Structure 1
Amino acid sequence: MKLSAREAPKLWAAPPDIWAGVLIFGADAMRVALKRAEAVAALTGPDADTEMRLARLQGADVRRDPAALSDAVKAQGFFPGPRAVVLEEAGDGLADTVRAVLADWRAGDARLVVTAGQLRPASALRKLFEGHKAAHALALYDDPPGRDEVEAMLRAAGLARPDGPAMDDLMALALSLEPGDLRQTIEKLALYKLDDGLPPAPEEIAACAPASVEAALDEALHCAAEGRAGDLAPLVRRLGAQGVTPVALAIGAGRHFRQLHAASANPARGLAEVRNFRARDRMQRQLRQWTTPRLEQAMSVLLEADLALRSSSRAPAMALMERALIRVAMLGRTRQER
């Protein structure tokens, strides 16, 4: 059966007695590794490693010795408690071996947590788990973590959930950081807030955020809004090298220009929602070179790019975003040159 990332934590926290395990797969090895660790922790509880209730096998080892997987699943440990067997770097070559283990699985056996890279819909391993009544397949995509996932990371780190601008700042970080970097940032924030007990504030989140990624992303957005088309190419390449996805860049640019548009349409309110005073001052200067119709044109360009990124287009995604930002910058520069 198929399993969504939202449903997974509830299933792993209280799996049915006749539930054999899960296949976790995706193109991003870090996302797969984080989700695997989450599954193992939920299924086995604390001290599984030290109590020998957790076995780890590599796909290459099982290919050489197929019986090793069945032996690990059936083995009885010295300590009571739920057991799990992790099979890493599996592939279609192990589909028959895993099928035999699932067919022979009984309540009380160790549960299987199988990981793999990107698998096509026709993959034998993927079809095995998706069609099994007592196992699940969880596909991980390169979408940024949702609010539920960020809140789960906060709970795991022992942090109180923030509201308003602080939560918005965390979600902005989730758009620009890889999941592993986001988790590390939240763990660093937990140390920063040790013994505090209060939800993190925007300035505390800013103090713990990776400055290089955040600064580069902000600079690219300001660069587009200031009409500096010639400076965009190296900034976009730098963002790509730091792991910022084209979708995250599109979302950030859309948010930036929506804020400018709202301030242009309602000067009395201005940029009150922008909490960082340096960014607010810079955006206030940007507003002087934009009219409301021009901002609407810029938002249309960015929306078109965002839709193209989410379509089946084969165009290079980061190059598509670079072109869109340059078009936006040229729109802003047009008024400057009048």
Structure 2
Amino acid sequence: MKLAPRDAAAFLARPDLTRSGILIHGPDAERIAQRRRALTLAVVGPNGAEDMRLERLTGADLRSDPAKLSDAMKAQSFFPGPRAVVVEDATDGLAKGITPVLEDWREGDGFLIFTAGQLTARSALRKLFEGARNALSLAVYSDPPGRAEIEAAIARVDLNPSSDALADLTARGRGMPEGDFAQLLEKLSLYKRGDARPLSVEEIAQLAPQSTDAAVDDLVAAVANGAVPRIGPAMMRLTAQGTNPTTLCIGMTRHFRQLHAAACMGGRPEDALGRLRPPVFGPRRDAMAAQVRAWGTPRLERALTTLTDADLMLRSSSRTPQEAMLERALIRIAMMRPRN
């Protein structure tokens, strides 16, 4: 049966071991790997490999010897606890050999974790897991993670963020590549080890990666300040670093939403930015306050409309080059700012 994306975070944290296993598939290999690691850890714990409760196979292993999967599922460990059998790079050609393994599964057998690339609705492997009564299929898409996924990732590393820090991490989790965000959480967890105080926004800012963030900040500043000649070079640097255009659009939208929220509050922009959640501090607040004064609410609303249209185009099946399309949209937005 299908596992709905909204239920995925809870299942990855506490898998139902009365099931025979799960197929995790999708176009983003990094996101697939993140879920495979989280699920494996939840099943066998950090010492599963040393306790011989973890078996790793590949699609090539099963093509050369189909019996390996059945043997791995039925094997017994010298140590107590559930076992996991992880199969990477699975393909449709394996579906026929997997069918009897799922049908013959009994309580106490290993928990099967299959991972594959993007599978169509007609995929034999996908149909097998979606149609099995005791197995699950989870499709992982390239959309930014939801709040539940981000909070589950924070819980896995035992972080205790303040409310402002949680909002900050949620925003970063939606704008950063998933692997980079996982590394940031690990770094924050190590930093806070032995410190009972809640994680703060300032601590996140000190430990967050700076290289890509700095380049993104340059692009955001170029657009928000109306510096059209700087947009092209900033886009080229980020494209060379492999930054996803959708990620850039999300970051740009977040910035303009903050400007719009501050503009709608009225009063001094500095005070309004300090009331945002998470609040804006230091030199960044001064720069954003100047942007709020220059743009005004109507122009910020037009900019957000353009960003929304760009985001929809990036997520569509259009064959328009994404980087070029986003760059044109950002230039149009930068030209909306009044000239001094």
- TM-score, normalization: structure 1? 0.91
Matched residue, 2:117: 117
Q: Does structure 2 retain, via aligned residues, the 8 Å contact 1:66–1:97?
A: yes
Matched residue, 2:170: 171
The one-letter code of the counterpart of 1:290 is: W
> Partners of 1:248 and 1:14 in 2: how far apart?
30
Secondary structure of residue in 1 paired with 2:280: coil
Once the two structures are superposed, residues 217-247 of structure 1 have per-residue CA deviations (whole angstroms, 9 ceiling, x without a partner) of 1221110011111211221232234343323
Once the two structures are superposed, residues 169-196 of structure 1 have per-residue CA deviations (whole angstroms, 9 ceiling, x without a partner) of 2122213321111111111111211211
Matched residue, 1:323: 328
Distance 1:10 1:154, change over 3 A: closer
1:37-48 aligned at under 5 Å gives the runs: 37-48=37-48
Distance 1:206 1:20, change over 3 A: same
The one-letter code of the counterpart of 2:313 is: A
Matched residue, 2:29: 29
> Partners of 1:262 and 1:11 in 2: how far apart?
36
Structure 1 residue 282 corresponds to structure 2 residue 287: yes
Identity, % of aligned positions: 50
1:165-244 aligned at under 5 Å gives the runs: 166-244=165-243
1:1-338 aligned at under 5 Å gives the runs: 1-11=1-11, 13=14, 15-17=16-18, 19-164=19-164, 166-270=165-269, 271-272=273-274, 273=276, 274-332=279-337, 335-336=338-339
Which blocks of at least 5 consecutive residues in structure 1 are unaligned?
A: none
Distance 1:157 1:14, change over 3 A: closer
After TM superposition, the runs of 4+ consecutive aligned structure 1 residues lying more than 6 A away are none
> Partners of 1:303 and 1:8 in 2: how far apart?
27
* 1:253 positional shift: 1.8
> Partners of 1:265 and 1:110 in 2: how far apart?
56
* 1:266 positional shift: 4.3
The one-letter code of the counterpart of 1:336 is: R
* 1:248 positional shift: 2.5
> Partners of 1:24 and 1:212 in 2: how far apart?
31
* Alignment: residue pair count: 333
> Partners of 1:155 and 1:288 in 2: how far apart?
39
The one-letter code of the counterpart of 2:339 is: Q
Q: Does structure 1 retain, via aligned residues, the 8 Å contact 2:146–2:174?
A: no
Secondary structure of residue in 2 paired with 1:290: helix
* 1:16 positional shift: 5.0
> Partners of 1:79 and 1:296 in 2: how far apart?
61
> Partners of 1:215 and 1:15 in 2: how far apart?
42
Distance 1:260 1:46, change over 3 A: closer
Q: What is the Cα-based RMSD across aligned positions, in Å? A: 2.0
Q: Does structure 1 retain, via aligned residues, the 8 Å contact 2:24–2:138?
A: yes
Distance 1:251 1:66, change over 3 A: same
Which blocks of at least 5 consecutive residues in structure 2 are unaligned?
A: none
- TM-score, normalization: structure 2? 0.91
Once the two structures are superposed, residues 303-338 of structure 1 have per-residue CA deviations (whole angstroms, 9 ceiling, x without a partner) of 221222233333233322211111111112xx216x
Secondary structure of residue in 2 paired with 1:336: coil
